[in-house]
């Protein structure tokens, strides 16, 4: 079959009430499961870390425990304030056509691209506070020695891995979005011919 004819047929199916392509449906359903798992993870972090720091602060005689609990809750509030609007309209694959499934996939890609930038901000906020809090609590080593200590070097290594993964993930989602946009453009232009 001619590739132009195949594309034309796909375009007709795309805009018609034809059933959604099975691969597209499976992909969106897989993304929906991943979104639900991430939301459960966000809830777990809120309960474990948020609740844990409050319980620890209530049992501790040190004011620093309350400072840690406060900054933990500020971080959690920042994360929720970003996550809720960023994932709005991404949950349900209530889409009924190929076009709607592609649009949902594009919105999800854009949300993940935004999330990579927010992740950098939140990570740096938490890293700065945590290192300052730990350094202040130990106050034995000079700052330079503290920043070169083996435990802080582990933090630097984990940070490099995290930022490397974020760059890889962002590029992958940008490439995926570009493919979806190209597909959308090809199909739209073939509908005009």
pLDDT given at position 36: 93
Q: 108, 173 in Cβ contact below 8 A?
A: no
Tell me the per-residue pLDDT of 32-79, one tens digit each, with 9 for 90 and over.
Answer: 899 999 999 999 999 999 999 999 999 998 888 899 999 999 999 999
pLDDT given at position 163: 97
Percentage of the chain beyond pLDDT 70 is: 82
Q: 29, 93 in Cβ contact below 8 A?
A: yes
pLDDT given at position 4: 52
Q: How many CB atoms are located within 10 Å of the residue 113 CB?
A: 17
pLDDT less than 70: residues of the chain: 1-21, 93-95, 139, 187-193
Integer Cα distance of 5 and 3 in angstroms: 5
Q: 173, 109 in Cβ contact below 8 A?
A: yes
Domain count, the chain: 1
The mean of the pLDDT values for the chain is 86
Integer Cα distance of 180 and 59 in angstroms: 53
pLDDT given at position 29: 86
Domain that holds residue 65: 3-192
Integer Cα distance of 104 and 64 in angstroms: 45
3-state helix/strand/coil string of the chain: CCHHHHHHHHHHHHHCCCCCCHHHHHHHHHHHHHHHHHHHHHHHHHHHHHHHHHHHHHHCCCHHHHHHHHHHHHHHHHHHHHHHHHCCCCCCCCCCCHHHHHHHHHHHHHHHHHHHHHHHHHHHHHHHHHHHHHHHHHCCCCHHHHHCCHHHHHHHHHHHHHHHHHHHHHHHHHHHHHHHHHHHHHHHHHHHC
């Amino acid at each position: 079959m001619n590739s132009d004819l195949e594309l034309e047929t796909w375009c007709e199916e795309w805009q018609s009430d034809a059933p959604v392509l099975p691969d597209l449906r499976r992909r969106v359903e897989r993304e929906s499961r991943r979104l639900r798992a991430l939301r459960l993870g966000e809830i777990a972090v809120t309960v474990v870390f948020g609740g844990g720091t409050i319980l620890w602060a209530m049992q501790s005689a040190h004011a620093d425990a309350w400072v840690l609990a406060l900054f933990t809750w500020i971080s959690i509030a920042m994360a929720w304030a970003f996550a809720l609007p960023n994932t709005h309209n991404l949950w349900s694959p209530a889409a009924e056509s190929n076009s709607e499934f592609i649009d949902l996939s594009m919105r999800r890609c854009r949300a993940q691209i935004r999330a990579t930038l927010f992740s950098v901000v939140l990570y740096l906020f938490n890293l700065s506070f945590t290192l300052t809090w730990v350094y202040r609590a130990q106050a034995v080593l000079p700052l330079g020695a503290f920043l070169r200590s083996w435990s802080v070097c582990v933090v630097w290594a984990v940070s490099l891995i995290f930022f490397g993964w974020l760059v890889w993930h962002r590029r992958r989602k940008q490439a995926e979005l570009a493919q979806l946009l190209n597909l959308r453009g090809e199909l739209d232009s073939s509908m005009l011919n």
